[in-house]
Structure formats: structure tokens, C-alpha cells
Amino acid sequence: MATFATLSFLARKSLASKMSTTKMIGALALAISLNTSIAFGSSSAATPLKPAAVASLDQWLSQQEVISAQKLMANVSPSDAAPGVVVASPERNHPNYYFHWVRDAALTMDTVFELYVHAQGDEAQVYLDRLIDFARFSRQNQMTPTKSGMGEPKFNYDGSAFNGDWCRPQNDGPALRAVVLTRLANYLLDNGQEEFVRAELYDSAIPTNTVIKADLEFTSHHWTAKNCDIWEEVYGDHFYTRMAQKRSLIEGAKLAARLGDGGAAQWYRSQANALDAEIAKHWDSSKQVFVPHLGWSGGLDYKHSGLDAQTILAILHTGLMPFSDARVQSTLKALTESFRALYPINKVAGIPGVGIGRYPEDKYDGMGFQGGNPWVLITAAFANGHYRAALELINEGHVDKARAHFHEGDELMKRIQYHAYANGSLSEQMDRHTGYMTAARDLTWSHSEVLQANWSRKKLLKALKLSVVH
Ligand code: NOJ
Ligand code: NOJ
């Protein structure tokens, strides 16, 4: 796979070496405005699908990965939106999710980055172009006057400020955006694009003109500020937000050092270290779980269980703790059992796995507040957590334990398969009584999380094969 990435990049580079970066990007933009179709390298999307529940998980996933990539890309820079926008869903009414959410967008573009490094030729160019549009759009977001400044959670799809009431600021956004753009910057640096990186992604200037530096400056100076959590409901200090902040500062420090911004590198690292003590406070030794919120300062006040899937998402999205860590496992288990007991659909015999929701007290049904449901993206993230744990255990030589996690991960993915639309559409939620897909349709983040889980599963399948040979 690494060879693919290098080759495809070199193919682009030979084209690029004849042009300046700006011209190169201009040429890519032209290719896209000419409506370059995106080939996903498979015709299976066109063939009729077996009912999802009948196909094996492997069959379903091999179709779903093509469909999810297409559905995800359809929500990135849709034609009526500003270039670089990632709409949370194509749905504009029930509910209106046709906005650029900073968190959803950053996580989605991380998936687009993966697609990019594994693609070739024209297809790779489309992904690169979207990534660069996203970087530029994000810089525009930073400079747009909004109600809460850098932590503004969402923007209108034309790029203008969203000025309605909202739970703001949400400070995970700048951190997540910095993480994905730092990955992009490192990749471009590895491939000789330093001029572009310094001009548009990371300069060493204060005040800065670049998107990553602005996010790192904000995060390093404001991580102690209370803000609204990823579910847009609680004010305080949040495990997810702090983990994202820490990851961004660690990666940011490395990038700063790489680009000769030594003082900044030291500062970012010192703030990343300072976050450790705060993150550690989220471990509740009596409950044996990581708790989502500390220092509650407003918003919902009925989350008494201390259970919240955002803790697992935090570990998945930051990689800051191994999934085989006993604390992570105990949190994962407590959440899984709680949702198994809570949702009627999880008690119906004969359906594999468990549908996982945000937190047990949740009331948000995607439109109103008639009661929480299992979510596709969270169920996929939990599956991914099991796959990651399995990969770690294989590295440590514990193949049997790894198999158990592989099985648990697959059960969760089969649960999504069972409730998925036959055409591969995935909404935000699965109705807790009927299992039908409900809430925002084709949620970009649902597709993104299913793709990520599938990629971990593929790595795991390979690792398991190798472990048998040894
Ligand atoms: C919409 C948010 O997106 C959702 O997460 C939240 O539960 C409701 N608003 C209530 O604040
Ligand atoms: C509601 C979720 O709670 C929030 O995390 C997400 O950003 C928005 N929906 C948009 O998908």
C-alpha cells in the first residue's frame, strides 16, 4: 500500500514539477469543475445488492466500502456549497444537517486523507484537491467573525457564520482540524511540497497566516477554557475535547520542530504535557470508567451514569491509549452492557451484536427529544476499538485473546449490516424499537466511521493470517 501511495504521488509530482504549486492546484480545480467523475475502482456499486442481512459480513463490507466512500464524497464540497465544505448530511429538513460542522468535517477529511494516500492518478488528485479546499475553507472559517471565535462549531454551507443559538464554543474542533491537516502537511513535506506547506498550512509567524498554526496557537493557549462537548449539550471540561487537544499539540510540536519553529515546538509540547494531569482526572476508579465531563458549568445536568461513548471515540480518534489498556477495556465493557440492557432492539433474539448509543440518559432522537437510540457511527467506532485491541494483542503474541476481540468487533459490524438500508445508505441512528435507520440520512460521519472500522478489520485479517504462519 505504501508503494501505491508513493507511486501515485510521484505521478502527480512529475506533472507538478512543471508548474508552480498554485498552478498545480488550479489545474486540479479545473479538472474537477469539468466534472471529473470519481472512479472508485469497482463496479460492484452498480450491481444489485443482496438484502444486507443475507450477505456475509465480508460480502457486505466489500460492497459497503465502495458505497460509503461514494456517499461520503458526495457530502464533501457538494456543488451548491463553498469548496471545502463537508455537509454533515444531505438532509436539509428533517433535520437540517446541511451545515459544515467543524468536528464532523475534520474527522471526515481524515478518512479522505486515507483514501488519498491509497489512491492513484486522477482519483488521488480529486482527493488531494478536496483536502486543499478543506484547508483553505478552514482558514476562512478561522477568519470569519462568529459568535464564539475559534471554537465556533458550525458554519453555513456558503461559508458564512451560523448565527443561531447553539452550544458554543466547542473546542475539540480546532484540535481535530489541526490533527488532520498536520497529517496532510507531513505527507506533503515527505513529497517535496515544502513551499506550499509553509505558505498555506504552517508558517512560523505570530500572528500567523496559516490554518494549522492558528489552531495550535488557539489550542495551546485556551485548552483550560470550559466549553461545550462533542454532543453539543454540556458545558465544562470534557475527556474527548482534552484528548483531541493533547493529540493536536503532540503532532503540532513535531511539525513545528520539523519546520524549524523550535520555540513553538517546546511550547506545544509543554501544553500537551500539562494536559496529562487533567486527562488523568477523568478516570473514575470507583466506577472503573473514564467519565466524559468534569467541572460541569452548564447545559444538560442529567447525565448521572458517568457513561458516555465519547470516551471511546476519544481513544479511537487520538490513539493516545492502547485499546488493550485495562481502563479502556473496562469502559468499553461498561458502556456495551449498559446499552445492551437499555435498548429494546438489543434484546431481540437472533440479531447479532449490540447497537451502541451516545450515553444511557440520551433523549435526542435526531429531530426532537423522544428518547435516545443506538448510533451507526458509535457502533462502528466500538467495533473498530475491538479490532484495534486485537491488533495490539497480536503484536504482543496473544492471538487467542485477539480472536475474541475480532469476533466482538464483527458482531457489532453485523448489527450495522442488519439495520443498514439495502442500497448502503446509513443514517445517524437506528430506532431503538424497530431497528430502522432513523434521524439524519447518509450522515457523513456514519460512512466515515464504517470505512475506518473496515480498514482496521482488513489490517487485522492480514495480521491474523501472518500469526498463523508463524
Ligand atoms: C442538536 C445537537 O446536534 C445534538 O447533539 C443535541 O443533542 C441537540 N441539538 C440538543 O442540544
Ligand atoms: C449531533 C452530534 O451530537 C454532533 O456530535 C454532530 O457534530 C452533529 N450532530 C452533526 O453531525
Say if residue 262's pLDDT is above 90.
yes
Q: What is the mean pLDDT of residues 89-101?
A: 98
- Choose, from 114, 122, 194, 232, the residue flagged as catalytic: 232
Closest ligand 1 atom to Cα of 232: 5
Q: How far is the CA of 58 from the centre of ligand 1 (A)?
A: 34
Active-site residue 229, yes or no? yes
Ligand 1 within 6 A of 231 CB? yes
Closest ligand 2 atom to Cα of 444: 11
Say if residue 46's pLDDT is above 60.
no
**Residue-wise pLDDT tens digits, 58-71:** 999 999 999 999 99
What lies within 8 Å, CB to CB, of 366 at 6+ separation is 95, 373, 427, 428, 429, 438, 439, 440
Residue 9, pLDDT score: 41
Rounded-to-10 torsion of CA 138, 139, 144, 148: 70
**Residue-wise pLDDT tens digits, 139-150:** 999 999 999 999
Domains, the chain, ordered by start:
36-74+324-470 (1.50.10.10), 95-321 (1.50.10.10)
Residue 29, pLDDT score: 36
Task: Tell me the percentage of the chain whose pLDDT exceeds 70.
Answer: 88
Ligand 1 within 6 A of 361 CB? no
Pairing of strands 227-228, 293-299: unpaired
- Specify the residue for cell string 499539540: 249
Active-site residue 362, yes or no? no
Residue 55, pLDDT score: 86
**Residue-wise pLDDT tens digits, 345-382:** 999 998 999 999 999 999 999 999 999 999 999 999 99
Residue closest by Cα to atom 11 of ligand 2: 88
Inter-residue long-range contacts of 47-55, CB under 8 Å, 24+ positions, other chains counted: 49/422, 49/423, 49/424, 51/422, 52/417, 52/418, 52/420, 52/421, 52/422, 53/417, 53/418, 55/417
Ligand 1 within 6 A of 229 CB? no
User: For residue 392, what is its C-alpha cell?
Assistant: 495490539
Confidence of residue 467 (pLDDT cuts 50, 70, 90): confident
Ligand nearest to the CA of 103: 2
